[in-house]
Every structure is written in C-alpha cells, then in structure tokens.
Amino acid sequence: LEEIPRPVQDSRNILKQGYLEKRSREPSFFGSEWQKRWCVLTKRNFLYYANEKSKQPKGSFPIECYQAHLDFQLRKDSRKKCCFQLLCPGKRSYEFTAPSPAEAQDWVEQIRFLLKADLSSLTIPCEEEEDEDEEELSKDRDSSDSMSNSQNSTLNPEEPGLEGDDIYEVMPGEFPNS
C-alpha cells in the first residue's frame, strides 16, 4: 500500500482527478493522437500532468470560461461514448476520453456544477427556472437549503433553529382555518 504523493496542488481545492486521454494538438508522426494524462479539476483551474506523480503540470487553464459537454464524434472506436470536450469562445478547445461513459458524464457534470456554483455565489439563482432539472438538483439542494430557510420561516413556523422572534408569537388556533 504505497502512498501516492499528491501533486503540489492544494488537495482541498481538488474537486475531481483521474486519468483521462487528452487529444494532442499536433499528433506526432509516431505517437498516438490520444495521450494519457493525470487530470485535476480545482475550483479555478483544469490542470493536466504526465502522470499522477508529476510535480509540474504539462498544461493548465482557468476553467471559468469553458463549457463542458459530451461529444461522441471525437472518436470512431469503441470508446467514442467516453469522450467529452471543453470549449471556450476564442480559446483553444480541449478533447478528452474518460475510462468509461459514466466517468465522462461525471467530469462534465462536475465542471458544469462548478461553473454554476461559481456564478451563483454572486447572485442566488431563481428556483422557478430550474423545474426541469428538479431530479438532478435534489441531491445538491441539501447544502443550499440552509440559505433558503430564512425565506421559509413564515411557511414552517414549527421548524426549530430559525432566527426571528415572530416565530414564537404565532399560537396554534390564531389562524382562521383555510
């Protein structure tokens, strides 16, 4: 059980990491156009290393302006359903192959979640617009519920731990039966 030394990156900021195959920009005559890279997604950047023991990344870019999506056109072989792409207008695009279709999906979702979370830290997103995503979001909602509790305090007067004195002034039976 040899411990794997972590890259110099602060591990608390790492959201996802693992081996992906990255399509090289200029495939060499001898080398494959897909090269295995240890990829690390942090809150701000996407970095890729020659392997997981490498100290210096072979490349990195800020993730904030990139869009992630699955792309089954990138390969013709059996692994085409494992491919995803990172696109940014006016910047280089990146193409990756994950070990499995589920892993590709997870990378895309992590990046999308990160971008969404980053933007929503400035403004609280409107709940109404997200109806179609309800199933996906329900597992992520738990952490954001604490923020919305203050708005719900009038709806759930029994809920303990809410701030505001008006909660305790509401007596059962004061409301007309609606």
Domain ranges of the chain: 11-25+33-121
Structure tokens at 76: 């013709």
Q: What is the band of 160 on the pLDDT scale with cuts at 50, 70, 90?
A: low
CA distance 137 to 68: 18
User: Distances in Å between the alpha carbon of 22 and those of 36, 60, 96, 166?
Assistant: 6, 13, 5, 58
CA contacts within 13 A on the Cβ side of 14 = 14
* pLDDT for residue 68: 97
Structure tokens at 17: 């990491």
Structure tokens at 48: 């890729």
| Statement: residue 164 has pLDDT above 60 | no
Tell me the pLDDT of the chain averaged across its residues: 76
CA distance 71 to 81: 7
Q: Which residue has the higher pLDDT, 107 or 116?
A: 107
Per mean pLDDT, which of 6-15, 21-30, 108-117, 152-161 is the most reliable?
A: 108-117
Please indicate, yes or no, whether the overall pTM of this predicted structure exceeds 0.75.
Answer: no
CA distance 57 to 39: 9
| Percent residues over pLDDT 90 in the chain | 49
Structure tokens at 67: 């869009």
CA distance 30 to 89: 31
* pLDDT for residue 138: 45
| Statement: residue 143 has pLDDT above 80 | no
* pLDDT for residue 169: 56
CATH class of 11-25+33-121: mainly beta
**pLDDT tens digits for 56-78?**
999 999 999 899 999 999 999 99
CB 72 within 8 A of CB 49: no
Closest CA to 105 of 83, 74, 87: 83
**pLDDT tens digits for 86-97?**
999 999 999 999
When pLDDT is averaged across residues 99-128 and rounded to a whole number, the result is 79
* pLDDT for residue 137: 45
* pLDDT for residue 115: 86
| Statement: residue 80 has pLDDT above 80 | yes
The edge-to-edge listing of strands for the beta sheet with 45-49 is: 59-62, 45-49, 34-42, 14-23, 94-97, 83-87, 67-70
Write phi, then psi, for 137 (nearest 5 degrees): -80, -20
